[in-house]
Amino acid sequence: MFNKWVAILVFGLFFSSVSKAQLVIEINSGADQLLPIAVVPFGYTGTRALPEDIAQIVENDLVRSGLFDAIPRANMLSMPSKEADVFYRDWRLLKSDYVVIGSVQALTDGKFRIGFELLNVLSQKPVQKHAYIDVSESNFRDAAHYISDKVYELLTGIPGAFSTRILYVTTEGDQKAPTFKLQVADADGYRPIVVVTSKEPILSPSWSSDGRNIAYVMFRNRRPNIFIQELASGKRQQIAQFRGLNGAPAWSPDGKKLALVLSKDNNPEIYTLEIATQKLERMTNHYAIDTEPSWEPDGKGIVFTSDRGGNPQIYRLDVDSKKVERVTFEGDLNTRARMTPDGRYLVTVQKNGGSYHVALQDMKTGRVQVLTETYLDESPSIAPNGSMVIYATTHQGRGILAVVSVDGLVKYRLPSADGDVREPSWSPYFK
Task: Identify the pLDDT of residue 176.
Answer: 84
Closest by CA to 347, choosing from 406, 408, 302, is: 406
Model pLDDT, residue 299: 97
> End-to-end alpha-carbon separation of the chain, Å?
15
The helix/strand/coil state of 63 is helix
Q: Which of 391, 410, 411 is nearest to 401 (CA)?
A: 391
3-state secondary structure of 3: helix
* Concatenated DSSP letters of 87-120: -HHHHHHTT-SEEEEEEEEE-TTS-EEEEEEEEE
What letter represents residue 188's amino acid?
A: D
pTM of the full predicted structure? Answer: 0.91
Q: In whole angstroms, what is the distance from residue 9 CA to residue 16 CA?
A: 10
pLDDT for 39 equals 98
Chain centroid to CA 413:
13
Quick one: pLDDT at residue 266?
87
Nearest to 336 by CA among 358, 309, 363: 358
Q: What is the pLDDT of residues 11-59, one digit of tens each?
A: 444 444 445 566 666 666 666 689 999 999 999 999 999 999 999 999 9
Q: Is 73 helix (H, G, I), strand (E, B) or coil?
A: helix
- In the beta sheet, which residues pair with residue 105? 45, 113
CA distance 309 to 301: 20
CB distance 2 to 386 below 8 Å:
no
Q: What is the pLDDT of residue 31?
A: 61
Q: Is 404 buried (19+), middle (13-18) or exposed (0-12) by CB count in 10 A?
A: buried
Q: Is 300 helix (H, G, I), strand (E, B) or coil?
A: coil
Distances (CA, A) of 186 to 193, 330, 382, 398: 10, 35, 15, 22
**Cβ proximity of 247 and 226 under 8 Å:** yes
DSSP per-residue string spanning 326-350: E---SSSEEEEEEE-TTSSEEEEEE
The Cα 258–Cα 293 span in angstroms is: 10
What DSSP character marks residue 373? -
Instruction: For residue 179, give the nearest of 188, 171, 187 by alpha carbon.
Output: 171
User: In angstroms, rounded to a whole number, what is the distance separating the alpha carbons of residues 175 and 19?
Assistant: 22
Residues of the chain with pLDDT under 50: 1-18
389 forms beta bridges with 382, 404
> Hey, which bits of 40-93 come out as E strands?
43-45, 68-70
Looking only at Cα atoms, what is the longest distance across the chain?
Answer: 72
DSSP string for residues in 144-171? HHHHHHHHHHHHHSS---TT-EEEEEEE
The CA dihedral of 19, 211, 318, 259, to the nearest 10 degrees, is 50
326-380 pLDDT per residue, tens: 999 999 999 999 999 999 999 999 998 888 999 999 999 999 999 998 878 999 9
What are φ and ψ of residue 114, in 5° steps? -115, 130
Point out which residues pair with 352 in neighbouring strands. 355
Cα–Cα distance, 179 to 202 (Å, whole number): 10
242 by Cβ neighbours in 10 Å (0-12 / 13-18 / 19+) ranks as middle
**What pLDDT, on the 0 to 100 scale, is given for residue 29?**
62
Residue 341 burial by Cβ neighbours in a 10 Å radius (0-12, 13-18, 19+): middle
Contact (Cβ atoms closer than 8 angstroms) between residue 411 and residue 192: no
